[in-house]
Structure 1
């Protein structure tokens, strides 16, 4: 069974404007969203489910947006994900269906015995689809693009979060529980990462401009 991409739209002038900002902003949103979901976790299993969903998203977006070699053939699924990210407006109907499916799975998971653990990936997917649909609106896009620096440093920020969680889990969880000992500090570190990423990339960009155009030379 093959996926026929010919029936999907191939170009979107509106979507092409966001082809670089959306993947980075999406990764930044995921890094910020995962610790917030952990606030509702009550066991290590729920933490693991949220972390696995975050890792899958970071890897999937990075793999889908990777530049192919001249002789490399892109698979149908990866090509579809590329177009959904780079031409998100043209594929708005797919994002809307993904949003509806994630919401339905979340409602069903609530009734399951292991509801909280199984609902985390569904809620994560729901948030991602909602983010993309909001990103297509100019008013929201200007605000959501502020998460792009955090997404550009996604793997470094993810590693810091993992080490931070492991350290807090072993040091503080037996005393304060998962909520106060791990989840709340993780939300704080994610917010600090968002601010630090913006400052770090702005400073790096400023250094690059000064290096390319030193004083005394015409710009």
Structure 2
């Protein structure tokens, strides 16, 4: 199968292909960062938190890589084209997002009833939330609120690092004194809201990213906006 055939066979709604949401990738990255503390608190050990944090970092970098500008004369992989189109033309690929939502929901139910494992259930719920976010973003009344997460997603790496550092400090410094609820859960759950506000104010003053990726030649933050 050639690249052109693979690109043409991607499921989409042709009449909606002209509707583009360039702010969706950044908003979705911001939403992913909003979910990170919830997943971190579900983990029972430092190892589980480290694994979930690494997985979310891979997802953030994957979305940035999908949105990276193509090199002249080089054709991108079909999977990357699909990911980019699903993000920029989510209306055209609404059916695919709905299928992803349903598949993740069924997988989550099976994981809860049969496997009785927390990790598969958390992953399925996470994918459900992402697909639901994209579908809600297509509606104007929801989009005006959800797009407020875009500044947080523009500096996703910086906010991810702050969340990891905050979790480390809270677990080791405050938790022994105040307990898990007051020492970790409440401040860690409130952190994303504070990050969203501070990210918006930071980008309103300057476009400089506080922490730039080391692999700047591979991905860069905020290219989707």
Contact 1:26 1:131 survives alignment (8 Å) = yes
2:145 to 143, 146, 158: 143
> Within 2, Cα distance between the matches of 1:53 and 1:120?
12
For structure 2, the 5+ residue unaligned runs are: 208-225
Name the structure 2 match of 1:155.
157
Q: Distance in 2 between matches of 1:29 and 1:159?
A: 16
Q: Is the 8 A contact 1:135 1:144 kept in 2?
A: yes
Partner of 2:132: 130
Q: CA deviation at 1:114?
A: 5.6
CA RMSD between the two structures: 2.3
Q: What is the deviation of 1:50? A: 3.2
Counterpart of 1:31 in structure 2 is 33
Contact residue 68 and residue 74 of structure 1 kept, 8 A:
yes
Greater C-alpha Rg: 1
Equivalent residues of 1:175, 1:181 under 8 A apart: yes
1:151 positional shift: 0.5
CA distance in 1, matches of 2:67, 2:167: 28
Moved more, 114-123 or 162-171: 114-123
| CA distance 1:99–1:177, shift in 2 (3 Å) | farther
**Structure-2 change in CA distance of 1:197 and 1:170 (3 Å):** same
Q: Is the 1:58–1:154 Cα contact (8 Å) retained in structure 2?
A: yes
Partner of 1:216: none
The DSSP-based 3-state class of the residue aligned with 1:111 is helix
- SS of corresponding position for 2:74: coil
Cα distance between partner residues in 1 of 2:57 and 2:146: 21
Aligned length: 202
1:138-217 aligned at under 5 Å gives the runs 138-176=140-178, 178-204=180-206
Aligned to 2:218: none
2:53 match: 51
Residues 196, 100 of structure 1: alpha-carbon distance in 2 compared, 3 angstrom cutoff: same
* Structure 1 stretches lacking a partner, 5+ long: 206-219
Q: Give the SS at the match of 1:117.
A: helix
Q: Deviations over 1:21-53 (max 9, x none)?
A: 000000011111211333444433543443233
Residue 179 and residue 54 in structure 1: after superposition, are their counterparts in 2 closer, same or farther (change >3 A)? farther
| Secondary structure at 2:206 match in 1 | helix
TM-superposed deviation, 1:104: 1.3
